Structure 1
Amino acid sequence: MPDRIVGEIPKSARESIRVSLREKGGTLGCDLRVAVTTGHGPMRETPKGIRIPLARLADVIEALQEVQRLAGSIDQ
Structure 2
Amino acid sequence: MRLDKYLKISRIIKRRTVANEACDAGRVTVNGKIAKAGLEVKEGDIIEIRFGSNITKVEVLSTKENVRKEEAPNMFKTLE
TM-score of the alignment, normalized to the shorter chain, above 0.5: no
Give the TM bin, normalised by the shorter chain.
Answer: 0.3 to 0.5
Q: Which has the larger radius of gyration?
A: 1
Structure with more of its chain in strand, by fraction: 1
Q: TM-score, normalised by structure 2?
A: 0.31
